[in-house]
Amino acid sequence: MRKFNFYPGPSTIATSVLEKMRAEFIEFEDTGAAFFELSHRSGTVVDCQRRIVARLRQLMGVGDDYHVLLLHGGAIGQAAAIPMNLLRGKKQAAYAITGHWGRLAAGHAEAHCQVERCIDTSPECTSIPPADQWQVPADCAYVHFTDNETINGVEFQELPDLDGQLLVADQSSNILSRPWPTDKVALTYACLQKNIGPSGMAVVVVRKDLCGEQLPITPAIWNYAKQAKADSMANTPATIQLRMLELVLDWTAEAGGAEEFGRRNRAKADMLYDFIDASDFYANKVDPAVRSRMNIPFVLADASLDDQFVTQAEEAGLIGLRGHRAVGGMRASIYNAMPEQGVSQLISFMQDFAAGNG
């Protein structure tokens, strides 16, 4: 029986999407083969790739002045690919560090340029200073920020207001979880494995005029200009991810798109934060103004009960709640595919656990 899956990624996918994929797993339509057994040059796969791009354009409001690329690897791959493609002769880039993933992205960029950490809230990472406090040098190629930090549970509530700077946003863990001003961001990227599919692919939405000046050492599979020209097929893409991505995007659109998920995710997160804040047994330390709607870390009053909490939660049909090893405690990841019922069952369990151990 399927359980409520709170893993941070890879993570839960709508059961209806899995059922559709399962139904076509031996043969896709009347092709005589599974989708992922067909050549990526076949009309079937090429059409799927085009439908995905059109769907992403619709769901994210992507204009004609942007490329939509579907590339190998996840966000850590792109953490390397972004400076390779976007430095455009400049010597430095700025990184806003509001948690684990921003810190990692900055480290990966250091192989290619001088990295200015324009803010760094380490080690606590429980707040985000307003943009007028960021130290952004004048001649940066771009300013990178992690729109949602999965481990620290910190999320930007709006774009940092940095007039005249090119923004690069890592939306790995909150893409399509709410409306997003794609046209105000130079590059938006995300791995699939939180809100839009299984791991093994990244979506990159990038302004066309910024592509084409990549470093000579840029691998072909991450050369944005080359991949744009080839409709993301300069090499063989991960075709099973393509088809699953399409099914998840269809499901996202049918449910009402980013606006509807914005409402649902706000409601789910409010329910859980309200419960935690009202409790003496659980605590979340993040500044309420920047709390993540996707990943809600919390600690128990007595950390020696952590293992017991995880075990009993699993017995109650709630999996994936252990916090990241870097910070400990618990974490509930409640992406688009987590229904409200999953959150209310989690709260019921947390109530019972607190009552039994308070």
Helix 100-109 vs helix 75-86: crossing angle, to nearest 10: 40
Among 177, 193, 252, 292, binds a second copy (CB under 8 A): 193
**Judged by CB under 8 A, does residue 338 bind a second copy?**
no
Q: Are 287 and 99 in contact (CB under 8 A)?
A: no
User: Which candidate in 134, 147, 170, 226 is catalytic?
Assistant: 170
> Which one of 101, 134, 180, 222 is the catalytic residue?
101
351 binds a second copy (CB under 8 A): no
Cβ pair 166, 90 in contact under 8 A: no
Packing angle, helices 239-255 and 43-60, rounded to 10: 40
Binding a second copy (rule: CB under 8 A), the pick from 237, 262, 297, 329 is 237
**Shortest spacing between CB 188 and a second copy, in angstroms:** 19
Helix, strand, coil percentages in the chain from 3-state DSSP, rounded to 5 = 40, 20, 40
Peptide bond into 129 cis (omega under 30): no
Site for a second copy (CB under 8 A): which residue of 236, 311, 341, 348?
A: 236
Q: For residue 37, give the DSSP letter.
A: G
DSSP code of residue 191: E
Q: Which amino acid is at 190?
A: A
* Catalytic one of 134, 147, 180, 194: 194
Q: Which of 33, 316, 327, 347 binds a second copy (CB under 8 A)?
A: 33
Contacting residue, 92, 122, 127, 199, with a second copy by CB under 8 A = 199
Q: Which of 216, 280, 289, 355 binds a second copy (CB under 8 A)?
A: 216
* Strands of the chain, DSSP E: 4-5, 66-72, 92-97, 114-120, 140-146, 148-149, 154-155, 167-170, 187-191, 201-207, 282-283, 295-300, 318-319, 330-333
Among the listed residues 46, 136, 159, 221, the single contact to a second copy using CB under 8 A:
221
Residue 308 to residue 104: CA distance in whole angstroms? 31
Scan residues 122-181 and list those touching a second copy (CB under 8 A).
none
Q: Which of 37, 124, 183, 340 binds a second copy (CB under 8 A)?
A: 37
Q: Does 319 bind a second copy (CB under 8 A)?
A: yes
101 is catalytic: yes
194 catalytic? Reply is yes
**Residue 18 binds a second copy (CB under 8 A):** yes
Nearest C-alpha neighbor of 59 from the set 49, 68, 71, 47: 68
Measured from the CB atom, the residue of 188 and 333 that comes closer to a second copy is: 333
Q: What element of type H or E holds 108?
A: helix 100-109
CA distances from 171 to 244, 266, 320 (A): 19, 17, 21
Beta 154-155 vs 201-207: how paired, if at all?
A: unpaired
Which of 148, 239, 252, 265 contacts a second copy by CB under 8 A? 239
* Nearest CA among 16, 9, 340 for reference residue 202: 9
| Length, in residues, of the chain | 358
Return the number of the residue (8 or 262) whose C-beta is nearest a second copy.
8
Q: Is 170 considered catalytic here?
A: yes
End-to-end CA, the chain? 31
Site for a second copy in 55-114 (CB under 8 A): 72-74, 76-77, 79-81, 108, 111-112
- Minimum CB distance to a second copy smaller for 194 or for 207: 194
Minimum CB separation from a second copy for residue 250, in Å? 18
- In the complex with a second copy, which residue's Cβ is closer, 71 or 350? 71
Beta carbon nearer to a second copy, 10 or 179 = 10
Closest distance between a second copy and the C-beta of residue 252, in Å? Answer: 17
Active-site annotation, residues: 101, 170, 194
What are the residues binding a second copy (CB under 8 A)?
A: 1-3, 5, 7-13, 15, 18-19, 21-22, 25-27, 31-34, 36-42, 72-74, 76-77, 79-81, 108, 111-112, 191, 193, 198-201, 216-221, 234-241, 244, 317, 319-320, 325
